[in-house]
Structure 1
Amino acid sequence: MNSDNMLLLELKQCETNVWDALVAGDMEADSAALHQSFLGVYASGFSPKSHHVNQLENGPTIKSFALSDLQARHLGDDHALLSYRADFTRAHRDEQETMYVSSIWQRTQNGWINIFSQDTPAAD
């Protein structure tokens, strides 16, 4: 398997772990996946790590999700970009939503950690 395919598989698993934490309401797993200086850029504005993790204080925020059209790009030796489409249903809602996500991951001694994520709602 070439390095581009390996990168895609590794980052897909890392990103899936974040979504799984949102489904499980697992603050510890969510926190472990995000760098201390994590920045999220969302329709609601900027979000530091604490906001991303604390959204799970009252339990899961996502009911179900599917990631597709994944693309990975190297951004140097220890950084990479993962971009994809996310189809998901929020907890306590029935309608499915779609957004496009770009996440930057940093390779550390302990594996990949998410340092940045931007969500773009799909056009209707």
Structure 2
Amino acid sequence: MQNTDNTTPPALDDILTLAKQVWAALVDGNASADRALLSADFLGVYPTGFANRDDNVGQFADAPTMARYELSETKLRVLTPDIVLLTYRADYQRPEAESWEAMLISSLWERRLDVWVNSFSQDTPLEVQ
């Protein structure tokens, strides 16, 4: 990240870059990259239920979970200089799938010990027309 001042909140592009690293890990099947971006106390709220960091990283056990993705409608809400909420739309295609799916995502990022980590994420599936 470009911003090293701990009293100034990050820019949207800085946090969006981190979110894209999470998505790249899904495409690459890189569980260790995903784990590094999630806090130890990570909580995911998904259509399938609640997930902690181990549950989330466990989805990489067999293979990548995404083939491609596009993120749009990005917004950043600054709660404190060290806590921000990133919201966006994710359009994605799973491996071996022909159709695209979409969801709205709320992702809480926290600066802990000068490192930004994703501590919470909620995914809301959308009907794709």
> TM-score, normalised on structure 1?
0.92
Long gaps (5+) in structure 2: 1-7
**Do residues 49 (structure 1) and 53 (structure 2) align?**
yes
Q: Secondary structure at the match of 1:51?
A: helix
1:102 and 2:106 are equivalent in the alignment: yes
* Root-mean-square deviation over aligned CA pairs: 1.4
Task: Provide the identity percentage.
Answer: 40
Query: How many residues of Structure 1 are paired with residues of Structure 2 in the alignment?
Result: 121
> What do the CA deviations read for 1:27-81 (whole angstroms, capped 9, x no partner)?
1000000000000001111011111101001110000000001000111121000
Question: Which of the pair is proportionally richer in helix?
Answer: 1
1:44-83 map, 5 Å: 44-83=48-87
Q: Which residue of 2 aligns with 1:16?
A: 20
2:61 match: secondary structure: coil
TM-score (norm 2): 0.89
The Cα of 1:110 is off from its aligned counterpart by 4.1
Moved over 6 A (4+): none
Partner deviation per Cα, 1:69-111 (whole Å, 9 max, x = no partner): 1000111121000000000001221110010000000012342
**Pairing 1:7–2:11 present:** yes
The residue type paired with residue 96 of structure 1 is: W
